[in-house]
Structure 1
């Protein structure tokens, strides 16, 4: 399966909408998916918005638990790759990243005006 690098700078503001959760490899045995090094794979649902268009949600897999990432937080995604997959008559795109971290929140204009009053 060939990976396709994704330019995250073109995806606009990225926001976590579902906190990191361990990815399940086998639902019957409740087995958690691991990478080659034994690290748990987590999935994080992130909103993306390109050039003022409608918002899309993508699930991104990442090895190891993304620390400090919670629902509603802006995030930074490093090393994002897309993969095309086919299973029987089903097909789609999946995403994997090297890291997902919390991003600094831009200061609010109204917050500065309250300090003087």
Structure 2
């Protein structure tokens, strides 16, 4: 599997589309996927908005539960890597990050209407 580092600064605005969910290995037993250190693997659906109105959604996996992330928040993604994969005739790109956290946006001063 080929890994490609991704420069998140070039991706534009990253926003949480679906809050973190534990990645399930077996739907029947509800067993969750763990990394080699025993941390639960989570998936976060993230919208990427680069130029104007064009938006893509990618799913990013991360070891350990990302804290404080809610749908709609702008995110900071560190250590993002893309992995090219192929299984038989199927192929695609998956994404993994070292960490995902909410971006703290300072309140707008004087933004009141009254």
TM-score (norm 1): 0.90
How many pairs does the alignment contain? 114
Give the structure 2 partner of residue 59 of structure 1: 59
Select the structure that is richer in helix. 1
Which runs of structure 1 show a deviation greater than 6 angstroms over 4 or more consecutive aligned residues?
none
**What is the rounded CA distance, in whole Å, between the counterparts of 1:106 and 1:14 in structure 2?**
17
Contact 2:44–2:60 (Cα < 8 Å) also in 1: yes
Q: Which runs of 5+ in 2 are unaligned?
A: none
Give the structure 2 partner of residue 15 of structure 1: 15
The correspondence of residues 31-70 of structure 1 with structure 2, limited to 5 A, is 31-52=31-52, 54-70=54-70
Contact 2:2–2:85 (Cα < 8 Å) also in 1: no
Give me the CA root mean square deviation: 1.6
Deviations 1:45-92 (A, max 9, x none): 001012335100000000000000110111100000000111122111
Q: Which runs of 5+ in 1 are unaligned?
A: none
Select the structure that is richer in strand. 2
Give the structure 2 partner of residue 25 of structure 1: 25
